[in-house]
Amino acid sequence: MPIMKLADASLNYRFDGAEGLPVLVLSNSLGTSLGMWDEQIPAFARHFRVLRYDTRGHGESSISPVPYSIEQLGRDVLGLLDGLGIERFSFCGLSMGGLIGQWLALHAGPRLQRLVLCNTAAKIGTEQVWNDRIKTVLNGQQQAMRDMRDASIARWFTPGFAEQQPDVARRITDMIASTSPDGYAANCAAVRDANFREQLAGITVPTLVVCGAKDPVTTVDHGQFIQAQVAGAELAVFEAAHLSNVEAGEAFTQRVLEFLVG
């Protein structure tokens, strides 16, 4: 896959869909690579030129000096788009990707056509939670990442899904084990420091908020808070945990596509 060199990082990216179609950018959750969107690609690529990328510190993208911020990650998206000559785009981000989407809507709103915020919140977790995770990861390195992989199954998927489709759940959670501990910790800091609770009313882009009814990380209440603050925002709730695009599968794909194509 091609690489875009930015000022202080290199981003791995991939296009799917025909040239000339409207651009849709997909942004991953913490600890995953662009492969987390594989199930959505066949349907999305019929309507969009889909652009996926590995967030810095993840997948095949580079690790730059740490820690990171959501602003920095948002500027990475703009740098990638500028380098590709893309001005207008829609954006769908999950969890950390949803935080990036909120930043883009607030700071580059005129470039956005539509925005999908999946399994995210205006503020995710507490400072102590993230500091503890950063410390654990940096102290334990690769063993800590393997432990994170095992622990993430319960957060990312409902027990029923993990039992019935273990290969699917393992494919996604294995992405954590292969993530650089330094890159993961740096992105934890970005999530820790992000807080858009007082800024959400400034989002004017047509927005869909997606939640998982069984999500223990970013709850339906978190999604409803975003919906209440963003004028005209729509809300969709699926019987899923944190990675609703994987667990809800086709239902997620069709609802998001319905919103994106208007």
Backbone angles phi, psi at 190, to 5 degrees: -65, -45
pLDDT of 149 > 90? The answer is: no
What is the model's pLDDT at position 148? 84
Q: How is domain 3-261 classified at the CATH fold level?
A: Rossmann fold (3.40.50)
What is the model's pLDDT at position 154? 86
pLDDT of 150 > 90? The answer is: no
Q: For residue range 162-191, what is the model confidence (pLDDT) as tens digits? A: 999 999 999 999 999 899 999 999 999 999
Across the chain, mean pLDDT equals: 96
What is the model's pLDDT at position 30? 96
Please compute the mean of the pLDDT values over residues 39-46 and round it to a whole number: 98
Rounded to whole angstroms, the Cα distance separating 48 from 219 reads 29
What is the model's pLDDT at position 144? 83
What is the model's pLDDT at position 200? 98
Q: Please choose, from the candidates 162, 142, 123, the residue with its C-alpha nearest in 3D space to the C-alpha of residue 241.
A: 162
What is the model's pLDDT at position 152? 86
Domain ranges of the chain: 3-261
pLDDT of 51 > 90? The answer is: yes
pLDDT of 146 > 90? The answer is: no
Contact between 76 and 34 under an 8 Å Cβ cutoff? The reply is: no
Question: What does the chain come to in residues?
Answer: 262
Please compute the mean of the pLDDT values over residues 112-121 and round it to a whole number: 98
CA angle 64, 105, 3 (to 5 degrees): 35
Banded model confidence at residue 1, pLDDT cuts 50, 70, 90: confident
User: DSSP assignment, residue 40?
Assistant: G
Give buried/exposed letters for 113-135 (b at 16+ CB in 10 A, else e).
ebbbbbbbbbbbeeeeebeebbe
pLDDT of 44 > 90? The answer is: yes
Give buried/exposed letters for 192-206 (b at 16+ CB in 10 A, else e).
bebebeeebeebebb
pLDDT of 212 > 90? The answer is: yes
Rounded to whole angstroms, the Cα distance separating 202 from 64 reads 31
Please compute the mean of the pLDDT values over residues 198-224 and round it to a whole number: 98
pLDDT of 156 > 90? The answer is: yes
pLDDT above 70 covers what percent of the chain? 100
Q: Which residues, other chains included, contact 111 with Cβ-Cβ below 8 Å and sequence gap of 6+?
A: 78, 81, 87, 88, 89, 104
